[in-house]
Amino acid sequence: MSAVTDAAPIAAPAHPVVQSVRDSLVIAKRNLIRMSRIPEMVIFGLIQPIMFVVLFSYVFGGSMNIGGTTDSSVYRNFLMAGIFAQTVTFATAGAGAGIADDMHKGLIDRFRSLPMARGAVLTGRTLADLVQTALTLFVLAIVALLVGWRTHTSAGEVLAAFGLLLLLGYAFTWVGALIGLSVRTPEAATSGGLIWLFPVTFISNAFVDSSRMTPWLQHVADWNPFSATVQACRKLFGNPGVSPSDAWPMVHPVWASLIWSVLIIVVFRTLAVRKYRSAAA
């Protein structure tokens, strides 16, 4: 006699794109759960941008000349787009430190033993950081309203501005991911993430009118990707902007912001995934 056994059907492998999306969401969920269990990470992330809002609004507000006036309320509306953009970009340092910490503790090696898409580890981490950045931006917007910031456009344009901010933050998070994979310790990732952020955010139109800079510095500021997003947000918020400039990003800030952000994501995601694969080889 011969026994006939029914073998369990073998599930067909998922499409690589589907698997990558699924694995990325799993990693993002893991990081969000970890963040929820360490609330001080979120709290401390909120303190710094709130301090910037209060200090710049009340300490420097009456001394800044925007559009020919030193009215502090005018500067406050001018300022907020820059503070929002600075907040989303400074999240880069945290993203780099988190990835460096995972590398240092050997967590990345454990992920390597699982049948998962290679890029999912980084994508999941950056998506989790994007959620945290969105929460920070929401709280910061409430604080801005409390100190007198106002928008003068439609709800759709305001939401589009916040969308550009989150896109810029997500793009810069990939820069942080590359830094986190390139250093040996979380402390080095934090330092490396902040060193380049200060010139990017301050050599821009975020806090002052770039037309008051020396010509060569104004040219750098006008073509700064950070400046394009700030200018786009001011336009979409209906807030006062910088003096007219012939630079293309200042004439078409929304398109410039989109192009810069997508370009940064494509370039630095490619480099970060390649670095991850070589580090994990």
Q: pLDDT tens per residue, the chain (281 residues)?
A: 444 444 445 444 566 677 778 888 888 888 788 777 777 777 777 787 788 787 777 776 666 667 666 667 788 888 899 999 998 998 787 778 777 777 777 666 676 666 677 678 888 888 888 988 898 899 899 988 988 889 999 999 999 999 999 999 999 999 988 888 888 787 888 777 788 888 999 999 988 888 888 999 999 999 999 999 999 999 999 988 777 788 999 999 999 999 999 999 999 999 988 888 776 55
Positive or negative torsion for Cα 263, 264, 267, 269: negative
CB hemisphere CA count around 210 (13 angstroms)? 30
Which residue do the tokens 């979120």 mark? Answer: 42
For residues 119 and 21, give the distance between their C-alpha atoms in angstroms, rounded to a whole number.
10
For residues 236 and 173, give the distance between their C-alpha atoms in angstroms, rounded to a whole number.
24
pTM: 0.86
Asked if residue 82 lies in contact with residue 205, where contact means CB atoms within 8 angstroms, the answer is yes
For residues 267 and 270, give the distance between their C-alpha atoms in angstroms, rounded to a whole number.
5
Structure tokens at 201: 């955010």
